[in-house]
Each structure stands twice: as structure tokens, then as C-alpha cells.
Chains A and B, each alone.
Chain A
Amino acid sequence: MIKTVDLHKSFKVADKKESLHVLKGVTEHIKKGEVVSIIGPSGGGKSTFLRCLNMLEIPDSGHIYFEGVDITDKKIDINQHRQKMGMVFQHFNVFPHLSVMENITLAPVLTKKKTQAEAEEAAKALLERVGLLDKAAEHPGRLSGGQKQRLAIVRALAMEPDVMLFDEPTSALDPEMVGEVLDVIKRLVESGMTSVIVTHEMGFAKEVSDRVLFMDDGIIAESGTPSEVFNTPQNPRTKEFLSKVLY
């Protein structure tokens, strides 16, 4: 479904001459129906890699093939392809000036995927699924962090994406709200949604993933099934990292 070939990305650092090399050649293949978690230390390139997958971050070199199309090609219409990739952010990024309902229906209607009536029908079903139907008319300012993130998830789902990208979806949440969000993601991946999840929730990664990637220093240092990576890590950096985190 998504194939990346030798992705490189550097960031310019203010008042420093040399730039920060964040991705140092990432080649990876995420298959249809697969649930892939990406773990690793901060600054290892996890989020940058994820953000490259829908071109929010433009890689310096390398290629990304999404459903067979090279989306790093400047001639393609990236918006068309992004419509098939849902993304959930650490800081929710719900639209504060729109109601919960409008947050969900805006994109399907604007991209002419659905009429207003169809979009609202679908939005109601989605809100029902995540227990927010009674909040449809509210503005996001009145929602808790967990509710905002659940809204952000169904906003992405309203576009009926082929793949979902989660960028540390629970890192900004109060501890007591992590469960409700993970619950929604878990039900989603169990329904067969192809997903890539950058997370610090090791227990969750272990439980829901088909495959776990350990990223460190701009490369995928280790990849395997959850039991391989968590129980019998091969790379010394993976061992060190896992020994330091509690889960």
C-alpha cells in the first residue's frame, strides 16, 4: 500500500550552519491491512517519517509510492492522494471555529466526495461509533482532550481513507483520557484499517500491531513482530531503549 525508497530529510537549524539530518535513508513497505507501530527515542525520525508518508513533510530525496503512484512526483495532484490517507495529530488540530458536525463534514463536502446531506448522515454514524453524537452541535472548545482526539479521528475517517496515520495520538492527553482514545484506535485497526501508528504507548503497540518498527538516528534500526521486537530485540539500541521505558 505504501512503499518508501531511501527517504532522506534534513532540517535547517536556526543559527547553526550544518542542518539536522533526520531521515537517513528509510526504505519500508506497509502492506494493505497491516497495522504498523513505530517506536523509538525522541528525535529518532519517527514523526518525520510518518509526516513524509502524506507529504506534509517533503523528503529531500527518495520516493514514496502510495497505491502504486509516486507521490513525491511534483506533477501529481497531492490533494487527490491525501484524501485517501487520514491523519491524526498529537495536538488534535480540530477546527475551533466549526461545530463538531462541521469539522467532520467540511472536507467530504469541499472535495465533492459527498453532498451535505450524505456527509451529515455519515458523520452521525461516525459520531455514534465514538460516543460523541450528543456533541454534534457543540464547538470543540467545549470538548475534553480525549473527546477532541476522538473527533479528530472520525474527521479523518469521514474521508473514507485507505490508510490511517497516527502521530503520537495520546501524547498530549491527560492520563485518564488515554484509554478512551486508544480504545477507538483499537476498534478501528481490528476492523481491518491499514494503520501506521507513532506511539510511546508500548503496551498498546505490543497489543495491536502486526509489526513494530524501532527507529533511531534516522533509520529503521529494527523491524519485526511485536514479540520479536519487545521480547527478543536484536539491535543493542533497541535493547537499551526498551530497558529504559516502562510498559
Chain B
Amino acid sequence: MTEYFSNIVMILSKYWKVFLVTGVKNTLILALITVFFGALLGVLICLGRMSRFKPLNWFLIAVVEIIRGTPMLLQLYIGYFIVPKILPFNVTDFMAVAVALCINSGCYQSEVFRSGIQAVDRGQTEAARSLGLSARQTMGRIVLPQAIKNILPALGNEFIMIIKDTSLASTFFVGEVMTSYLVVKGTTFLTMECLMITGAIYFVLCFLLSKLLGGFERRLKAHD
């Protein structure tokens, strides 16, 4: 036990930069990129699914179901190999994996948006339309402002999920926390100790974020 502890201290004093600087930085960058572009993509998919143009509906339903019905690791592999072939400029591994993560997250987030919008009582739409507001005005002034309150907490959860999911990107050595683990384990051969450190980092990141979002949610509720 004491040996474990002294090993962890040793690893941290020697390799803390690999974990806390390179690893955490890349994990956070990857997660932020994924959340941001995933949200953009999510809004677009959600709008497309609510449009009256049926072929677009069907196409997007198919895409979302395929993404939800296949493992993320498989999607990362496909992204890793396909994205550099499709995009005309030089694509780093990091970017290729990020694109795959964004598409995955976009599909999940589109469902969050959709359910948040659908959770707004139909009576709200009917009341707004009965006053003579257009569909667009009703969406913008009545439905979306109420949907945001349903959406934000679920989006926070998605953010936490993404932080953990970025660990899958270590398969391609893109430099996030899980890659730090692989690197340090590879030189020290202290597997268990490195895993403990890595786990602690993920836990602290997710726990802090969860508390932060909780506080934000309470402020939203207090506003009611």
C-alpha cells in the first residue's frame, strides 16, 4: 500500500506535466470543440427533423439512428481513416478524431434539443398562434425560451459524457489524458498507479463541471 502511494507521488513529481498540462489541456480542448460544434450540428439536425420536407426528415432520422446504434470507437476509427481522405487540406489525427466526435455528439444533442422543444406544452403554441403570431414568431418568442430550460441540464450531462468519451480518442494517441496514461505507463511500467492518477483526473474534471452546472441550473430555476 505504501509502495503504491510512494509510486504515485514519484510518477506525479516526474510526469505531472504529461498528465496535467498536455493531457488535461487536450482533453478540455477536444471536449470543448465537440460540445460547441456538436451543439451547432445538433441544432441543424433538429431543425431538419422538424422541417416539413420529408426526405430530409428520413435522411436525418437514419443518420441519428446509425450513430446511436454503432459503437463510438468504431465511429472514431472510421473518422480517423476517412476524414483525411475527404477533406482537401492536411488533416491531423487530432482533427480527424474531433470531427468524428462532433458528428457523434451532434446526433445525441439533436435529440436533446428535439425532446426539449417537444416537452413545451402544445397549448403554448396554440395560444400564440391563436393570437395571430406566425410559426416563426411562436418558435422564437414562446417555444424556444421555454425549451432552453429543459435543454440546458441535459446538455450539461452531455458535456460530462463527452469529457469521458474523449478517452476513446487515446486509441489514436491524440494527446488527451488517456494518452498521457499510455505514455507514462509505457516508460514506468507502473500500470495500476498510472490508472489511479488518470481516473482521479477524469473524476475531478467531471465532478467540478457537474457542480458548476448544478449551480447554473439553480440560478435558472430561481429566475422562474
Contact of B132 among A79, A91, A93, A139 (CB under 8 A): A79
Chain A proximity mask over B129-168: 1 for CB below 8 Å, otherwise 0: 1111110010001100110000000000000000000000
Q: Is the CB of A141 within 8 A of B129?
A: no
Contacts of A107 in B (CB 8 A): 128, 131-133
- Shortest C-beta distance, A198 to chain B (Å), equals 14
Contacts of B133 in A (CB 8 A): 79, 107, 110-111
- Segment from A13-21, A68-76, A81-89, A238-246 that makes contact with B: A81-89
Q: Is the CB of B126 within 8 A of A93?
A: yes
Tell me whether A125 is interfacial, beta carbon within 8 Å: no
Contacts of A12 in B (CB 8 A): none
Tell me whether B212 is interfacial, beta carbon within 8 Å: no
Q: Is the CB of B132 within 8 A of A82?
A: yes
Contacts of A159 in B (CB 8 A): 131-132
Q: Is the CB of A56 within 8 A of B130?
A: yes
CA distance A85 to B131 in the complex (A): 8
Contacts of A54 in B (CB 8 A): 130
The size bracket of the interface on B is 10 to 19
Tell me whether B69 is interfacial, beta carbon within 8 Å: no
Contacts of B126 in A (CB 8 A): 56, 89, 93
Q: Is the CB of A91 within 8 A of B141?
A: no
Tell me whether B3 is interfacial, beta carbon within 8 Å: no
- Shortest C-beta distance, B123 to chain A (Å), equals 4
Contacts of A81 in B (CB 8 A): 132
- Shortest C-beta distance, A58 to chain B (Å), equals 12
Contacts of A84 in B (CB 8 A): 132
Contacts of B131 in A (CB 8 A): 82-83, 86, 106-107, 111, 155-156, 159
CA distance A159 to B121 in the complex (A): 23
Q: Is the CB of B224 within 8 A of A139?
A: yes
Q: Is the CB of B130 within 8 A of A80?
A: no
Tell me whether B32 is interfacial, beta carbon within 8 Å: no
Count chain B CB atoms within 10 A of each CB in A89, A95, A152, A159 and give the residue with the most: A95
29 cross-chain CB contacts under 8 A: A56-B130, A79-B129, A79-B132, A81-B132, A83-B132, A86-B131, A87-B130, A89-B123, A89-B127, A93-B124, A94-B127, A95-B127, A95-B128, A95-B142, A96-B146, A96-B224, A106-B131, A107-B128, A107-B131, A107-B132, A107-B133, A110-B137, A111-B131, A111-B133, A141-B224, A155-B131, A156-B131, A159-B131, A159-B132
